[in-house]
Structure formats: C-alpha cells, structure tokens
Structure 1
Amino acid sequence: MTYVGQSASAAQQGTGERATVKDVAAAYVGLTKPRVIELLLLTTVPVMFYAARGVPDLGLVVATVLGGTFSAGSASVFNCVYDRDIDEQMRRTRRRALPRHIVSARAALVFGFVLAIASTVILYVWVNPLSALLSVLANAFYVFGYTMLLKRRTTQNIVWGGIAGCFPALIGWTAVTGSLSWTPVVLFLVVFFWTPPHTWALALRYREDYANVDVPMLPVVKPAHEVGKQIVVYSWVMVATSLLLWPVADTSLFYPVAASVLGAVFLVEAHRMWRRTRGTEDLSVIQPMRLFHTSNLYLSLLFVAVAIDPLLAR
C-alpha cells in the first residue's frame, strides 16, 4: 500500500514503513484533531439545551454537531498543512500524518476544503445561515488569524487566536434561536478567558519544543513564575465571567452553585501551580499537566451545568 499523494519509494524514504488502509484512514482522522473537536462540541450542545430551555430538536442537534465537526476538522487540517514544518521537529506533533508522510500536503488540503464546504452546506441548509456564517468566520480566524498571522509572531498568540475556539457557544445558541443575545456572549467570554490557562499549562510542558521551532509561546519567553502569575489572573477573570451568566441569563440557583464549586477547584489548582514555580523551572516540580487536565474537566462540567440548569428549572 503506497502513501497517499506519494510514490511507494518516497514513502519508504520518509518513514521506512508502508502505510496500510487503516493507517491512512487513521491519518485523515488524526488531521482533524478529534480531541479538539470533542471539546468544541462540548461547548456547543449544552448551549443548545439552554437556548431551547430544555431538550432541543434531535435533528437540529445532529445537523449542528455534524456541521460543527466538519468545520472544526477542516480548520485543524489547514493548521496541520501550514505547520507541517514545525510539527516534524516537535515531540508532541512529530507523529502526525504529514510529518510521517502518510498523507501528502496536497491531499490534506483537498480534504480540508471538502470538510469546509460540507460543513457550510450542512449548517446553511439544515440549521440556518447565521450559524453557517459564524462557522466560516471561526474557521477563517483560526487559519488566517491564529495559524498564519499570530502563532509564530507574538506571545499573545493563543490569547487572541483562541477567539476561534469561542465560536461554538455562539453557534449552538444561533442554531436554536436564529439570533444572538448576551447569554452566548457570556459563554463565549468564559471560553476566551479559559484558553490561556489551558494552553499555557500545556505549553509549559512542551516549552522546549516551541523554543526549538521559534514559536514564541509565553512559557518560552517568560520564566515559569511569570507564566503562573498570568494563568492565575486569567483564571480569576474566567471564574468571575462564568458567574455573570446567573444574572444575565436568569438561571436557577443550580448553575451559580455549580460554577462556584468548579471555579474554586480550578483556582486552587492554578494557585498551587503558581506556588510550585517559585524559584524553579523544573517541570517535574511545577507539574503543569495537572492544571491542563483540570482545565479540561472544568470546562466540560461547567457546560454540563449549563445544559442541566434549564432541565431542573422545568
């Protein structure tokens, strides 16, 4: 079995092994970054529950999830194509499809465009034009704003580049209501302020990788203690923003209680990591992945609370 978009000999020179059909299929799936998609959908579907003040139409959920999956997947594919030079040099990414030469850049680009077109058609036809437009804007911002413009130029790359990951909250709301309001904007901002602590914790773990490829992530250009301080600041703003949903959206008491408990757990872990950075750059002491995994759990449970709240109110 030859590599997609390459000759067998070129493929063998790239990795020394032949790709099976299973390898190629897994490579295409991997290009879409499924774990990122899972997180994005987790901020879409619960918002649909809240917008519907109960259980939304199943067909609408399926169409929104499918369109959102294809849209996020296409953005990730374009990111992989553009970053294939640095992905090949980083421990965290060197096993991706393009660095391993299982899929060619041309084939990946075609795949990305197919996903982008399919997502736009699905959202436009079976959801609504506003949701389709927001999806296109999110995709474009991630590819052109973050990947091509910000990532390799500024330490604030993921602060502003992370805006693309906030759009699912808006898309989930507009899918049900056909319009925007302050409720999804608050949730948009929660994800916005969540992104730096989440990403900087991961970047701390892989800062040598980023340094080796000249990507100026904050942990590359600032000492760990300063990174920890920034994480704490963003964490406090994130938790405060999450509590704004109570008065803005007139939730039941369940949501602010859940948001307060989850926020307290997150803040404790953020402060603990900051304390561990005092006087050391040793990652085995700092343990940034503890905060990274806590951030995933926090966002997941917070949006589950968003979905549950209207069900309890009924």
Structure 2
Amino acid sequence: MSLVHAAHDRSDHTSAVHPAGDQPADGRRTVRGTVGAYFALAKPRVIELLLVTTIPAMFLAGREIPSPWLVLATLLGGTMAAGSANALNCVIDADIDKVMNRTRKRPLVRDSVPRRGALVFGLTLGAASFAVLYLTVNPLAAVLAIATILFYIFVYTLVLKRRTPQNVVWGGAAGCMPVVIGWAAVTESVQWPAFVMFGVIFFWTPPHTWALAMKYREDYERAGVPMLPVVATPQHVAKLIVVYSWVMVGWTLLLLPATSWLYAAFAAVAGAWFLFYAHGLRAAVNRGVQTRPMALFHRSNTYLMIVFVALAADSAIGLPVLGLPF
C-alpha cells in the first residue's frame, strides 16, 4: 500500500524468498518456485513495514491492547490488500523493471509468472482483502483498503510515477493508509489521531524514498522515472530531505495530547537522532565528499519503528495522557 507502501518499490534490491524463477533444467517450473514467484509479487518486505504501523494504530485507538482476533483479521485483510496493490504494480511497471538493475529479479521480468497470472493474482487478493475486512472487521476498514489499492494503482503508478518528481510525495499517501485502517478497525470511525499518524508517514516517505533514489539514481534515469535525485542536484535533494525530516519530527509531537510522557520522550529522542543523520547527509553532499544515502534509508526504517512501537507501548501500559494544554 500500497497499503502499500508503500509502496514505493523500496524492497526490491533483494528478495525475501527463493529466486523467483526456480526452474529445473528442462524449463518446467517447480511448485516451490511457482509459489515463491507469486509470493514475491506481493513484495513481502514492504508489507512488513506497513504492519509495524498498523498494530500501534490499533493500540492507540483504544488506549489498550486490542482483541487479538481483531488484530489478526485486520492484518490478514491488510496484507492481502497490500499484496494486491504490489502485484498489480508489478504488472504495470514490468517494462521499466526490465531496465533497472534493482528490479531485474522481479517475477515478471524473469518470466517466472505469466503477466495474466499476475493480474488475476492481484485482483483476487484485492477482492479477498475486501471480503475479509468487511466480514471480520467492519465495512469502513474494507472500503478504506479498496480505496487505497485504487489510489496506489491509478493515481501513483499510472499517473504520478512516470510524470513528476513529486511522485512519492503525493503517491506516498497510499502507504499512509494502514494506520487509518487500523484505527477504523477498532473505532469504526476516523478521528484526528488517525490523521496525525497518516501525516507522520506522509512526511517520512520523501526522506526515506529519496535516500534510496540517491543510491539508485542511474537506475531510475535509465528507466525514465523522474525521481527527484534524477532531475535535481544532490544539494537540492539533501536540502529537501532535511526539510521533510524536520516537518516529520514536528508532526509526531502532534500526538502528545493523545499519549503520555513515555511516547513524548521516545518521539523526541528518536527525532533528534534521525535529524542528526539527515543533517549529516546534507553536510557531506555540500562538502562534495562521499555520501552514504542508504545508511539514512535504513535509519528511517528504524526511526519509524521506534516511534510506532513507542505508541503501542504507551497505549498498552495505559499511562495518563498529556491532554490538550487548554
């Protein structure tokens, strides 16, 4: 998400499963290889990150540990929705995946999954996600999941990705939706803390994705995808990474009225830690020395995990909330 994440093709430089085209010498696909190829279509490593944000959102929604069955049903439906969006993205982007070193191991590029099979797989997962969420969670969560899939495919993948360097800024909204769905699963509504959590991930996405794109700039350029590092100077990219990082850290503090001192402490310390490295990247770029954008990329994952785990712990312990100052 794509519930995705997400959705921004950031998990494909390695594969979490067996090589997608696991075939014997005579060309016949093994059952294991076929299953692995379809599994890879769903981009499971992206889904892992999305689930890290969904569960804490459910904790915060009730300020307690939610029903394990509700969590399981929400994660199952959300995983299916994310897998659907990711698989459909692979179908649409098969042409550019062939020319990018980072994505050449995707199943459609290796011909280990037929294009029609991938399309049916993606559509089936999407329908199944709606059914699971509608029947076991609530209709609002189901509708939000389908809306997220549609946004990721039709707005991000088909319109924004190949046309504007702002692709991951606005398209990243799809990757923010798991927290909203998690909140809706518990409350059957969408309230202001859900929108704040949405904003945290929204402002986190550009620094996270642009750091990756700095590393794979030549890949994106070869594929004709106008990621910001392709069309802008490294200095400009590093500056915007710092700007978005500051907004992201400040945005996490908007959750203070719904949390306690525990979350506040972790959010502040983790924010300062991430800003230190974001400024370090910019300083290295401005000095013209060798940079390590992937270090910031991996730290962004750690940062997001710390913030949302703190949310979950804060809610599970049930400490008194700070409340509004007025």
**What is the TM-score of this pair, normalised by structure 1?**
0.92
Q: Give the match for residue 195 of structure 2.
A: 185
- Which amino acid in structure 2 is aligned with residue 264 of structure 1? A
Q: What RMSD over aligned residues (CA atoms) do the two structures have, in Å?
A: 1.6
Give 1:223 shift: 1.2
Aligned to 1:294, the other structure's residue is in SS state helix
Q: Give the match for residue 302 of structure 1.
A: 307
Aligned pair 1:288/2:293, yes or no? yes
1:142-200: CA deviation from partner (whole Å, max 9, x where unpaired): 11110000000000000000000000110010100001110111000000000000000
Q: Percent identity?
A: 55
Distance in 2 separating the partners of 1:88 and 1:19: 21
Distance in 2 separating the partners of 1:56 and 1:164: 24
Distance in 1 separating the partners of 2:275 and 2:32: 43
Q: Give the match for residue 63 of structure 1.
A: 73
1:219-253: CA deviation from partner (whole Å, max 9, x where unpaired): 00111111000000000000000011002x2x110
Q: How does 1:157-196 map to 2 (within 5 A)?
A: 157-196=167-206
Q: Give the match for residue 16 of structure 2.
A: none
Higher helix share: 1
- Which amino acid in structure 1 is aligned with residue 184 of structure 2? T
Aligned pair 1:75/2:80, yes or no? no
Q: Give the match for residue 240 of structure 1.
A: 250
Unaligned runs of 5+ in 1: 1-10
Distance in 2 separating the partners of 1:131 and 1:155: 31
Tell me which of 125, 132, 139 is aligned to 2:142. 132
Give 1:18 shift: 4.8
Give 1:25 shift: 1.1
Change (3 A) 1:158 1:216: same
Distance in 2 separating the partners of 1:312 and 1:274: 38
Aligned pair 1:207/2:212, yes or no? no
Q: Give the match for residue 233 of structure 2.
A: 223
Give 1:312 shift: 2.4
Give 1:23 shift: 1.6
Q: Give the match for residue 23 of structure 1.
A: 33
Distance in 2 separating the partners of 1:239 and 1:125: 37
Aligned pair 1:147/2:157, yes or no? yes
Distance in 1 separating the partners of 2:98 and 2:34: 18
Which segment drifts farther, 271-280 or 87-96?
271-280
Aligned pair 1:113/2:123, yes or no? yes
Distance in 1 separating the partners of 2:37 and 2:131: 25
Aligned length: 297
Q: Give the match for residue 269 of structure 1.
A: 277
